[in-house]
């Protein structure tokens, strides 16, 4: 089965058509990957809280037991009925790819298989195996653009019956992106805060989400990309002191790295220099920041960007689930990124 576009997958979930028995959901937006995997799991009709019907596996565990995926898919639930095997945190683990190849080589299995993966590049082993099989649906999950975020805001506020002013929407959009689950959480938090208001105003957004200091945030990102650890740490401390949520900082860094990833891919494809690519594809970059971005593109290769984008996505989710440890763990990641920015000098 070929790759399903996001809108095709959404239509499939809403329709009465049979759900594919095997689905690989992947992409840089880990929150969106998780959301779509949960939606697909719910669509199977299997009770997700039934441990005899649902088996959840971390992809790394398959490396220790290479035949486990096939065994789980071929086994019968203790009390009969439908079964779901749900694999999370997948990349291109050999045991997983080999298992999927076995499952797609014969008759389609009776059990459902959902695989949640990170950012799989075109031609990577898992993505290649999934896209080549007629019995597997591949669903990419890329970071939300402004149109997608506007749609998300509209959907949630339609549910709650609330209105939002243009100024509040613009301010809200500045604090969203990078991770669908985090964005959805912020919008719902704002809606709950304004539950008894006639409409959501810009001040409400500032009250509940916080006015991220543009200067401190820009300073942090520029220092990180320049490899200036002292300035980066000072900017981070300033943001934390101002009660800026750490996931907002991480989301801003994540968006910056997503932009670098796009520009770096264009560099590699066209074999142009960083300055040439910025000239043609980076016109939205503020002129005072172009030297910083040019320098960063000379340091950050496509594989490094892919690896760190995955770490940033994971950290955004961690900061939402474990806020008590988020600041210190996020600071370690940001320092690591800063140090890597000077690794090749």
Q: Residue 235 — φ and ψ, nearest 5°?
A: -65, -40
Superfamily grouping for domain 6-140? P-loop containing nucleotide triphosphate hydrolases (3.40.50.300)
Beta-ladder partners of 55: 85
The segments of the chain whose pLDDT lies below 50 read 211-212, 345
Largest CA distance in the chain: 65
Beta-strand ranges (E) seen in the chain are: 22-26, 54-58, 84-90, 112-117, 136-140
| DSSP assignment of 105-137 | HSSPPSSEEEEEE--PPTT-HHHHHHHH-TTEE
Beta 84-90 vs 112-117: how paired, if at all?
Answer: parallel
Cα–Cα dist 182/78, whole Å:
37
Encode 154-222 in three state secondary structure.
HHHHHHHCCCECHHHHHHHHHCCCCCHHHHHHHHHHHHHHCCCCCCECHHHHHHHCCCCCHHHHHHHHH
Sequence spans of domains, the chain: 6-140, 146-208, 214-340
**pLDDT at site 227:** 93
CATH of 146-208, one of 1.25.40, 1.10.3470, 1.10.8, 1.10.10: 1.10.8
**pTM score:** 0.62
CATH architecture of 214-340: Up-down Bundle (1.20)
Cα–Cα dist 103/84, whole Å:
14
**pLDDT at site 199:** 94
**pLDDT at site 178:** 67
Q: List pLDDT tens digits, range 225-244.
A: 999 999 999 889 888 877 77
């Amino acid at each position: 089965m070929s790759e399903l576009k996001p809108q095709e997958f959404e239509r499939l979930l809403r329709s009465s058509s049979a759900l594919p028995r095997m689905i690989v959901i992947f992409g840089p937006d880990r929150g969106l990957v998780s959301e779509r995997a949960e939606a697909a799991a719910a669509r199977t009709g299997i009770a997700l809280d039934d441990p005899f019907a649902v088996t959840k596996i971390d992809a790394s565990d398959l490396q220790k037991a290479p035949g486990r995926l096939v065994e789980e898919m071929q086994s019968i639930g203790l009390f009969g009925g439908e079964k779901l095997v749900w694999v999370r945190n997948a990349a291109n683990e050999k045991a997983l790819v080999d298992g999927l190849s076995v499952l797609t080589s014969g008759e389609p299995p009776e059990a459902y298989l959902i695989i949640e993966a990170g950012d799989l590049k075109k031609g990577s082993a898992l993505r290649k195996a999934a896209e080549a099989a007629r019995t597997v649906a591949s669903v990419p999950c890329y970071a939300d653009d402004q149109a997608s975020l506007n749609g998300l805001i509209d959907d949630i506020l339609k549910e709650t019956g609330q209105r939002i002013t243009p100024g509040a929407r613009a301010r809200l959009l500045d604090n969203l992106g990078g991770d669908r689950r985090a964005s959805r959480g912020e919008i719902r938090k704002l809606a709950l805060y304004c539950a008894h208001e006639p409409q959501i105003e810009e001040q409400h957004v500032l009250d509940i989400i916080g006015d991220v200091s543009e200067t401190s945030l820009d300073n942090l990102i520029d220092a990180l990309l320049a490899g200036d650890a002292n300035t980066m740490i000072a900017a981070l401390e300033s943001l934390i002191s101002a009660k800026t949520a750490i996931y907002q900082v991480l989301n801003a860094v994540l968006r910056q790295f997503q932009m670098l990833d796009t520009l770096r891919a264009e560099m590699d494809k066209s074999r142009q220099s960083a300055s040439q690519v910025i000239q043609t594809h980076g016109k939205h970059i503020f002129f005072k920041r172009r030297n910083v971005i040019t320098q960063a593109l000379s340091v950050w290769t496509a594989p490094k960007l892919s690896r760190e984008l995955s770490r940033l996505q994971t950290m955004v989710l961690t900061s939402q689930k474990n806020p008590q440890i988020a600041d210190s763990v996020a600071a370690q990641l940001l320092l690591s990124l800063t140090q890597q920015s000077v690794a090749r000098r």
